[in-house]
């Protein structure tokens, strides 16, 4: 068992993502049937540049629902159960997480918070506790098996001693609109450090795959031009909303 680090891989994006979003937007404003233009989109007869310009222009009006037709799927490892408890609160998404019932965790890795890593005494105590938790987990497994419990089933109740810092792996799928909302909340400096780091990695992958949607994505203040938080919680990058309203640019 040891401290681990985040790793995110983009597994899949809806095929022909730009063309699909363009077609969905066009259907909202087009008297005809976009199915008839689909082959022209795929062939490049209607250039990707033209499609991207149209999508970007409509997005600035606040019309976002057509981007829901495209989804991204990520494989995520090196994150804590503390993080995934936050992640799964984003409900318009699909998740498949490593099970502590079926996966033996006696040699678990863990996430080491940077604040603890900077203080030698805090790090030592944290890592000692992780070793204690692993020992307790193995002891409980052995006691349950000795009592007649099936070895694999012993994980089910032994896992109750595992701390929130235990490393886990998860596959997550979100559509573009859900991702934009996720980035607005989790790229903010007020977000917990671990999920903020995850959001940054996911956003970099999204920008590379579909820049027309994600080039300007990020914390909500980036879109608004002001901080929507109370001034007590603002990081100071943008003026808070009260200041912005009283001092218009």
pLDDT tens per residue across span 166-175: 999 999 999 9
pTM check: above 0.85:
yes
Of the listed 57, 138, 186, 242, which one is catalytic?
Answer: 186
Dist CA 136 CA 145 (whole Å): 14
Q: What is the pLDDT of residue 26?
A: 94
Q: What is the pLDDT of residue 88?
A: 96
Q: What is the pLDDT of residue 114?
A: 97
Mean pLDDT throughout 166-191?
Answer: 96
Q: What is the pLDDT of residue 242?
A: 63
pLDDT at residue 9 above 90? yes
Residue 186 annotated in active site: yes
pLDDT tens per residue across span 141-154: 999 999 998 888 89
């Amino acid at each position: 068992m040891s401290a681990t680090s985040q790793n995110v891989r983009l597994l899949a994006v809806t095929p022909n993502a730009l063309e699909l979003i363009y077609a969905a937007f066009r259907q909202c404003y087009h008297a005809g049937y976009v199915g008839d233009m689909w082959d022209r989109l795929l062939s490049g007869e209607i250039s990707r540049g033209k499609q991207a310009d149209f999508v970007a222009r409509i997005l600035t009006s606040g019309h976002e629902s057509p981007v829901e037709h495209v989804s991204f799927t990520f494989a995520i490892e090196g994150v804590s159960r503390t993080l995934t408890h936050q992640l799964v609160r984003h409900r318009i998404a699909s998740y498949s997480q490593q099970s502590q019932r079926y996966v033996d965790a006696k040699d678990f890795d863990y996430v080491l918070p940077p604040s603890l890593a900077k203080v030698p005494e805090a790090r030592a105590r944290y890592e000692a506790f992780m070793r204690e938790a692993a020992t307790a987990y193995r002891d409980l497994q052995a006691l349950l098996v000795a009592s007649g419990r099936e070895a694999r089933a012993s994980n089910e109740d032994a896992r109750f001693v595992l701390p929130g810092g235990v490393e886990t792996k998860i596959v997550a799928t979100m559509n573009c609109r859900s991702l934009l909302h996720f980035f607005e909340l989790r790229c903010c400096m007020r977000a917990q450090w671990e999920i903020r780091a995850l959001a940054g990695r996911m956003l970099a992958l999204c920008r590379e795959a579909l820049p027309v949607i994600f080039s300007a994505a990020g914390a909500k203040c980036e879109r608004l031009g002001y901080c929507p938080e109370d001034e007590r919680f603002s990081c100071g990058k943008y003026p808070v909303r009260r200041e912005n309203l009283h001092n218009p640019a």
